[in-house]
Amino acid sequence: MAGGVVVTGLGCVSGLGIGVADFWAGLVEGRSAIAPLTGIEDDLNIRIGATVRGYRPENHFIADDLSLLDRFSQFAVIAAREAMADAGLAQDESCARQAAAVIGTGCGGKQTDEETYTQLYRKGRFRAHPLTIPKGMPSAAASMVSMHLGIKGPVFSTASACASGAHAISQGCLMIKAGIVDVALVGGTDAPFTYGLLKAWEALRVVSADTCRPFSQNRSGIVLGEGAGMIVLESEAHARKRHAGIYAELAGCGLSSDAGHITRPDTNGIVKAIESALSHAGLVAEQIAYINAHGTGTQANDIAETEALHRVFGTHARALAVSSTKSVHGHALGASSALEFVATALAVHHGLVPPTANFTTAGYGCDLDYVPNTARKMPVEAALSSSFAFGGLNAVLALRSYPSEFVASV
């Protein structure tokens, strides 16, 4: 274990509220954050989503800071603050200053883009705001996290649609294993509820009109969400030296590309990512107890993902607990895989598997144990968190439980 990478801090913003406590409570209860959208244009067909309701930026930032903080950057900074505090890392500690920060996003600063285009095209103005570029660029969240938390090590963004957060987590893990840093703050953030982006999602025709029902016969598509998930990773030696609480070990990462269709999942690519994660983690299939599935609630994904699990796990697939937390926090795009990693780390830590909410009857090709509607208390010695993005970009992260004398006390 001496060369391992461990999880020592968690933070999140989601449709369930601000903070890990509200997030975990909502997941365990199967209390979906999906609700009617308010204040939207009449011509939008997308009428529901998992938004951060009642969010007030001024409660978290001073006015001067907000001039440079797009909504997706705000969520990243808030979740990062919580994760670093949870890990017991003060901003002025040398290990925090030398840490890496890798933040994934699928969309970047869409709120800033929308405001700019409204001014130029709707209101006929001839100039954009002078801070448009630094506020809306995809790397803005990573830069703002670095600036607000005093992180001066390697800082950059990953952009791989809904696998962005998972790719950021894998990059942090690999940098620690390579000896580049001892601490990495990693995760994903997105805020996709803008008129233009909702119109774009309408055009894809994959968004549900009522709710998200992964793996169910009457599933009708995704429901968008927003938020951020942030994780503090450390080398095991560094965490043990400072007596940090440990949630779980990030045992391995499996990455693959389908090199095929831009939106249709490929079972072969999914299989390769899962097998790579198991191999990198030094785990065998029978050791996995729980899988936090990509589970979008689309016809194509849920069947392909189920088939891949059968191919990788064989007869053990029937013993797996498989759930999709997107049924609760929505599909938060680049943030989803990070939020789901937080959920998986907490499932390992607590020995409690969150359910697939809104589940009705299993759909065709969906024949596994999807932990329907009710959380399940069970030992989770090892688990996977899976993300399969548009473009055929797959990322699977393997977590393993940690000896109880070192685990976090939350």
Rounded Cα gap, residues 226 and 334, in angstroms: 9
Q: What value, to the nearest 5°, has the Cα angle with vertex 116 and ends 113 and 122?
A: 120
Rounded Cα gap, residues 144 and 197, in angstroms: 23
Write out the two tokens for 372. 């329907």
Backbone angles phi, psi at 86, to 5 degrees: -60, -35
Rounded Cα gap, residues 278 and 29, in angstroms: 30
For the chain, first and last CA: distance in Å?
23
Count of CB atoms situated within 10 Å of the CB of 1: 13
Query: Hey, is 363 helix, strand or coil?
Result: coil
**Catalytic pick among 162, 173, 212, 253:** 162
Among candidate residues 183, 231, 256, 281, the one with its CA nearest the CA of residue 86: 231
The answer to whether 366 is a known catalytic residue is: no
**Catalytic pick among 107, 331, 349, 366:** 331
Backbone angles phi, psi at 31, to 5 degrees: -90, 100
The answer to whether 261 is a known catalytic residue is: no
Helix 110-117 with 195-204: angle, nearest 10 deg: 110
**Catalytic pick among 148, 167, 280, 294:** 294
Burial class (CB in 10 A: 0-12, 13-18, 19+), 361: exposed
The answer to whether 331 is a known catalytic residue is: yes
Helix 110-117 with 71-86: angle, nearest 10 deg: 160
Among candidate residues 291, 348, 343, the one with its CA nearest the CA of residue 320: 291
State the catalytic residues: 162, 294, 331
